[in-house]
Amino acid sequence: MKHTVSEVSLKNGSKGLLLHIPEASVMTFEVNFRAGDFLTEEGKWEAAHLMEHIVLGANQFIPKARKFQAEFEKNGAYTNASTSSYDITYEAECADFEWDRILELLLVAITKPLFLKEEFEAEFGNVREELTARGNNHFRHLSLALREAYGFAMLTDQNRLKLMSNVGLEDVRKHYKKTHLTSNMRFVIAGNLKGERRKHIKQVLEAVDLPKGDGRIALPDESPKHLTKPLLIPNPTVDNLYFYLDTFMRRRMRDPEADALSLINTMLTETLYSRIFGAAREKGLVYGMSSGFGQTKDSSGWWFGAQVSPTNAPALFDIIIKEVKAARNGKIKESDLTSAKQYALGRYQRSGQTVGGTAAGYSYRYFFDDEVDDYYKVPERIRAVSRNRIVAIVNDLFAENIWGLGVLGNVSEASARKIQKQAASLWS
């Protein structure tokens, strides 16, 4: 959607983006604090998650969670919150006609929670159910176990469940006081910011009743380590073999490098005609496959993952190895590069067709490192990707020999080691 972006820095230390979308009929709000799991005390990992569940509940003005939700949602507005390893984000979306009411209610919830004992006990049960349900997702279980093994600030849902009993209501209150500070707050607000709306939003946010604090809480220092043997999670009830294969480098990618890696990722796995997934589907080896990349403060990683029958796994890995080596050696067809750019441009156009989608194009990066991406320059960045850029970043990601394989299913350790040995040729 057509929009303009302005960054505002408030006297209370908070910062954020205001996205003016003239044609918008809804308003979206995202309020973020660096308050994730990595900041919890040892053995009390779930304190951040439990806090997130309780904050949008009873508060000083509406002292019961259900009544607060009824008031918030009476005109169809939506609210939610999420906790990650690093952040907690509160979000809301509403019709344009009630944007000011919803903003006030959201900020009241964030700044005036009551942390009632009965609501803590209820949400304790709800979080336990949530983690139990998530624990049935084999891809998630394997991914979290690998992140933990690499040394990132992660725990599996199974381990989180074991630690839940260590967390009491006072731990939740303590975590809130430590993290909910205006200088640790970031926001992205998108909608039709006509007339005096922008001024009103700034005044309301500047008057947020929270301590100022000493600035944005820093991201943790995390340095991935090489796994000398495969991480194996035996599960005799799972016939297929779930796997993730990761490679890392101990630095952040620059934007042109991330653009290049995104395009080779598209070429390899993101479509039914892609070099790895498309070829594997054509041979009947795998139903679905994906790959992707992520970054921490100090590192970048690229991963491949799928569930595949044990008998098909070697043939699938042959294709992965062949195509990744081709990329490393610059054997990238110009037609494939052109097709990937067209696909990326179309995906870019689709991503910004709603107010929420447009806001999301800014919020992830902004909440991570205070960087404001230029949304309108994305097509130019996509077109600028060259074969040489792709070759350089792919080789950098394999140069440090930091990698690992994770396998889940009815698989023996010998079989997992055989797959690891096969994959190891990528780093030779």
Q: For 212-269, what is each residue's pLDDT tens digit? A: 999 999 999 999 999 999 999 999 999 999 999 999 999 999 999 999 999 999 999 9
pLDDT in tens, 383-406: 999 999 999 999 999 999 999 999
168 and 243 both lie in a single domain: no
Cα-Cα-Cα-Cα dihedral of 352, 366, 395, 319, to 10°? -40
CA–CA separation, 303 and 18 (whole Å): 34
Mean pLDDT of all residues in 302-313: 97
Give the total number of structural domains in the chain: 2
104 and 202 both lie in a single domain: yes
Does residue 258 lie in a domain region?
Answer: yes
Does residue 221 lie in a domain region?
Answer: no
What range defines the domain where residue 271 resides?
231-427
Does residue 224 lie in a domain region?
Answer: no
Burial of 118 (0-12, 13-18, 19+ CB in 10 A): exposed
193 and 236 both lie in a single domain: no
pLDDT at position 331 over 90? yes
341 and 199 both lie in a single domain: no
User: For residue 281, what are the CA distances in angstroms to 188, 285, 316, 411?
Assistant: 40, 6, 10, 23
- Looking at 162, 189, 206, which one is the last position of a domain? 206
**Token pair recorded at residue 350:** 């689709």
Among residues 356, 344, 338, the alpha carbon closest in space to that of 381 is found at 344
pLDDT in tens, 357-371: 999 999 999 999 999
244 and 197 both lie in a single domain: no
247 and 200 both lie in a single domain: no
pLDDT at position 351 over 90? no
For the beta carbon of residue 73, count every other beta carbon within 10 angstroms: 13
Query: What's residue 353's pLDDT?
Result: 85
CATH at 182? 3.30.830.10
22 and 156 both lie in a single domain: yes
Does residue 130 lie in a domain region?
Answer: yes
Query: Which band of pLDDT confidence, cut at 50, 70 and 90, is reported for residue 106?
Result: very high
Query: What's residue 321's pLDDT?
Result: 98
29 and 76 both lie in a single domain: yes
Query: What's residue 428's pLDDT?
Result: 83
196 and 252 both lie in a single domain: no
148 and 260 both lie in a single domain: no
Does residue 223 lie in a domain region?
Answer: no
304 and 393 both lie in a single domain: yes
Does residue 219 lie in a domain region?
Answer: no
CA–CA separation, 154 and 147 (whole Å): 6
246 and 165 both lie in a single domain: no
- Looking at 173, 206, 239, which one is the last position of a domain? 206
Does residue 173 lie in a domain region?
Answer: yes
